Chains A and B, each alone.
Chain A
Amino acid sequence: AQTVTQSQPEMSVQEAETVTLSCTYDTSENNYYLFWYKQPPSRQMILVIRQEAYKQQNATENRFSVNFQKAAKSFSLKISDSQLGDTAMYFCAFMRGNTGTASKLTFGTGTRLQVTL
């Protein structure tokens, strides 16, 4: 079974600064996907960024980027130029590829990020 570990329950960053959220995972699979989801106080889960395991290039989406270290099974999220609207719970998630039926997401326990003035 796959496991996802987020070792930072809470983090704080000042507006305009950069913050990195950590995530490690454990799997014996070779074909998989990794995701970061954001859950603001509105509770709506929003996909922030995704990474395909077979791609060596790190994914980027505007101010959000990842550091994907496949051998180390590490998938950290970097938020640059933090904004107050980035305040949310962030979840790292793992999905196997090509499972035949529905692909299930396995989530970490989340990191609560507070952006301050």
Chain B
Amino acid sequence: DVKVTQSSRYLVKRTGEKVFLECVQDMDHENMFWYRQDPGLGLRLIYFSYDVKMKEKGDIPEGYSVSREKKERFSLILESASTNQTSMYLCASSTTQPYYGYTFGSGTRLTVV
């Protein structure tokens, strides 16, 4: 069964900490994405990557960075966590064919205290 795996289901971090959210896909997909999900706001794109070491900003990149050193792994980094980054974070991957949409991970619920 193909999948996208997010390393943590729940995470609690302190304000100012550097936080790493990890995502691994086993489908050899070219594209990977990080979204955050907040009630009433839906899913908003933070960053995406279309190839190893290639990245582009999404709609809300402030306060975040990403790393894609290997095709299967896409990391989201909160350089200095703040309480307004408390949210659900969803990773997804896709092929180059838009028709197939995305495959999602099961999310990481991050709480910053």
Contact = CB atoms under 8 A, between A and B. Distances in A.
Interface in A3-56: 4, 6, 9, 33, 35, 37, 42-45, 47, 50, 52
**Leading 3 A-B pairs by shortest Cβ distance:** A45-B104, A102-B31, A102-B50
B50 A101 contact: yes
Among A9, A91, A102, find the residue whose CB has the most chain B CB atoms closer than 10 A: A102
Given A9-B40, A91-B42, A91-B43, A105 B107 contact: no
A59 to B, nearest CB: 11
Given A43-B88, A110-B42, A103 B106 contact: no
Nearest to B44: A107
A117 to B, nearest CB: 26
Interface residues on B, range: 20 to 34
Interface in A91-112: 91, 93, 95-99, 101-110
Contact of B43 (A95, A102, A103, A107): A107
Interface of B: 30-31, 33, 35, 40-45, 48-50, 56, 58, 88, 90, 92, 94, 96, 98-99, 101-102, 104, 106-107
Contact of A102 (B35, B42, B94, B99): B94
Interface of A: 4, 6, 9, 33, 35, 37, 42-45, 47, 50, 52, 91, 93, 95-99, 101-110
A52 B99 contact: yes
Contacts, number: 68
Given A101-B50, A108-B42, A42 B106 contact: yes
Nearest to A1: B59
A64 to B, nearest CB: 14
Contacts of A101: 50, 56
Central interface residue in A52, A95, A98, by most chain B CB within 10 Å: A95
A33 B98 contact: yes
Contacts of A104: 33, 45, 48, 58
Nearest to B31: A102
